[in-house]
Each structure stands twice: as structure tokens, then as C-alpha cells.
């Protein structure tokens, strides 16, 4: 069994306490099962059960902005593009809209800026003087199939370059062949290479075949010390979905009840409109509570999403939908 003492469910882990590395427990992973039809029925009813309008919708969307990992992961990325992205991360919503909503004095920023290793320096420079962290995708992104020693060195190099968060990607073949010891070992090695930087583990849910595999991979990653579990790279044929989210956040809840430690969740890929991100927020609220609506425990990997959120906020303020080109693109 785990070498972490479970705590009563009504007790809180130390504020800011980081999910530690636990001993590998094959029996615990084998214990995990998912009822696919029940999970799909649960999320299918979500739009009918949860909706918010007017000022409440605006408040949820402002919170969503603060949880975005504003991302550029393109082959033609340049320092100039990254500087522009970072400027948007510093001021993601137009000041006139914030003033009209009565929150003009608040420092609203995105949760992080996410880039390839080669662009870390440009991002760190552009975000100087802010508390916005730079997140770097690493470990042979997006396939995770480069040699393990090179992936570990890549993590170390990204941390040394100034990344405060590392988004690693699993070698999905280990999940598909049921080799959860290998999943645990590589994530544990990445956690050690991260040092103080937070580790977000991309399980590649769309490539894993079944929801049970998604659940087992999530537990193995948390067991190995992951600070966040993340659905996708954004490059898979199927990326973030509500069934994936439901299964993963329930594994987070299971882990919290077992150990007392909180792990964050990050859906990524295909989340481009405001109503979609709110559905993920509703899942977090229903399954984990309000603590998991904050950027230290909830992130969304996105870029174009920010433009749609800003358009929705503009509509709330003015009563009219503005054209997308009136809003600086994330």
C-alpha cells in the first residue's frame, strides 16, 4: 500500500502542500475501473443541469481567463510571436471591459504562457516583472518516444532556462501494454528532474483506447508525484472531452481522499469557445469543489479560446457581439 498516511476526508492537506512521490502500488492501479456508459450519461446531462447567465456568466469567464495556459506550439514560432503572446497574457482582457465590469483595479492575467523549449528565454524576458510562469512542453513532445535519458535532460534544460512549469508527455505505449510500472518510473524521473518546477503530465487520453486506461494512467502519474494531470497534447486525433475530464477529476478526488494531497487538472486541445470551457469549470465545481476553480489547481490549454471569452465579455458590457478582429488574438 502507499507509504503516505491517508487523512480524514474533512481534513485539509497543508496549504500549498505539493503532491509527493509515493511508492509504486500495482494493486491500487489494478483496482481502478470505469463504467463508460455511466460516465457518458453523466456528462451528457451537464448542459441541462448547469447554466449561468449575465453577471454570473461574466464572473465565470473572467475566472476562466485566469486559468488559461496561453499557448503557442507551432513550427514557425518566433521570439516576436512569443513576445506578443506574453503581452496578451499580461493584459488578456481589454481595460475598458474590466472597468465596465467594476474590476478595473484587479490584475487579471492568464495562468501561464506555454511554449517550446527554444522559446523559453523569449517568454521569460517578456514576462519579467510579473508573476506569470513560463510553462515548457518537454520529453519528446508530442509523442514521448525519444530516449528516456534525452527526455530527462530536456526537462533539466528547460528548468535551467527559466521554465517554472514543465508539461511532459507520456510514452503511451506503456499504458496500452499495461506496463504501469514503466509509466510510474518515467514520471518519477521527470518529477526529480523538475526540482521546484511544477510537473504537468500529459497522458494523451485520446490515444489510450478506454476510459479505464485513462483512469489507471492518471493514478500512476499522481503516484509518481505529478502536480497536474493533463488530457492531451492538442496534437491527437481526439483531445480534451468531457468524459475524459470526468474520469480524470474523479481520480483526482480519489487521490485526495486517499492521501490528503491535491493534484491539479488541465484539459487541452479543441477548447476554443467560452461555453466549452464553462462546461469544464462545471465539472470541476461538481466533482471537486471551488478550490479546483483556481489557477493553482485548474488550467486550460488554449489560445483562440481567449478571443471568444473577450467577445462574450464585450457582449455582456455592450449588449452587442464584436468582430473577432477587434480583439488582439491570443
Q: Supply the residues annotated as catalytic.
A: 167, 230, 266
Rg of the chain over CA atoms, in angstroms? 19
In sequence order, the 6+-apart residues with CB closer than 8 A to the CB of 25 are 1, 2, 223
From the number of C-beta atoms within 10 Å of its C-beta (0-12, 13-18, 19+), residue 110 rates as buried
**What residue ranges in 224-322 does DSSP mark as E strands?**
228-230, 264-266, 300-302
Please list, residue by residue across 210-242, b when 16 or more beta carbons sit within 10 angstroms of its beta carbon and e when fewer do. Answer: ebebbbbbbbbbbbbbbbbbbbbbbbbeebbbb
Q: CA nearest 281: which of 56, 125, 23?
A: 56
From the number of C-beta atoms within 10 Å of its C-beta (0-12, 13-18, 19+), residue 155 rates as buried
Contact 90, 109 (CB under 8 A): yes
Q: Three-class SS of residue 165? A: strand
Q: What is the DSSP letter of 224?
A: T
Question: Distance between CA 287 and CA 29 in Å, rounded?
Answer: 21
Question: Distance between CA 313 and CA 60 in Å, rounded?
Answer: 10
Q: Three-class SS of residue 67? A: coil
Please list, residue by residue across 267-292, b when 16 or more beta carbons sit within 10 angstroms of its beta carbon and e when fewer do. Answer: bbbbbebbebbbbbbbbbeebbeeeb
Amino acid at each position: 500500500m502507499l507509504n503516505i498516511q491517508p487523512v480524514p476526508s474533512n481534513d485539509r492537506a497543508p496549504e500549498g502542500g505539493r503532491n509527493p512521490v509515493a511508492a509504486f502500488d500495482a494493486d491500487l492501479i489494478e483496482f481502478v475501473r470505469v463504467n463508460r456508459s455511466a460516465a457518458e450519461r453523466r456528462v451528457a446531462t451537464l448542459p441541462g443541469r448547469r447554466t449561468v447567465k449575465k453577471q454570473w456568466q461574466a464572473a465565470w469567464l473572467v475566472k476562466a481567463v485566469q486559468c488559461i495556459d496561453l499557448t503557442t506550439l507551432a513550427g514557425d514560432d518566433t521570439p516576436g510571436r512569443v513576445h506578443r503572446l506574453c503581452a496578451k497574457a499580461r493584459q488578456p482582457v481589454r481595460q475598458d471591459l474590466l472597468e465596465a465590469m467594476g474590476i478595473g483595479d484587479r490584475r487579471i492575467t492568464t495562468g501561464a504562457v506555454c511554449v517550446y523549449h527554444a522559446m523559453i528565454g523569449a517568454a521569460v524576458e517578456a514576462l519579467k516583472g510579473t508573476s506569470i510562469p513560463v510553462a515548457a512542453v518537454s520529453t519528446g513532445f508530442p509523442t514521448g518516444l525519444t530516449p528516456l535519458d534525452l527526455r530527462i535532460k530536456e526537462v533539466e534544460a528547460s528548468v535551467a532556462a527559466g521554465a517554472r512549469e514543465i508539461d511532459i508527455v507520456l510514452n503511451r505505449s506503456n499504458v496500452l501494454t499495461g506496463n504501469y510500472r514503466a509509466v510510474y518510473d518515467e514520471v518519477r524521473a521527470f518529477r526529480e528532474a523538475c526540482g521546484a518546477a511544477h510537473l504537468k503530465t500529459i497522458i494523451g487520453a485520446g490515444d489510450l483506447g478506454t476510459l479505464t486506461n485513462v483512469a489507471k494512467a492518471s493514478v500512476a502519474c499522481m503516484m509518481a508525484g505529478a502536480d497536474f494531470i493533463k488530457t492531451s497534447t492538442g496534437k491527437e486525433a481526439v483531445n480534451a472531452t468531457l468524459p475524459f475530464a470526468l474520469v480524470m477529476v474523479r481520480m483526482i478526488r480519489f487521490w485526495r481522499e486517499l492521501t490528503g494531497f491535491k493534484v491539479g487538472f488541465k484539459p487541452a486541445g479543441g477548447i476554443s469557445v467560452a461555453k466549452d470551457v464553462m462546461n469544464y469549470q462545471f465539472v470541476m465545481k461538481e466533482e471537486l469543489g471551488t478550490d479546483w476553480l483556481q489557477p493553482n489547481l485548474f488550467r486550460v490549454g488554449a489560445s483562440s479560446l481567449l478571443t471568444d471569452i473577450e467577445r462574450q465579455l464585450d457582449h455582456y458590457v455592450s449588449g452587442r457581439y464584436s468582430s473577432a478582429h477587434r480583439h488582439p488574438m491570443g
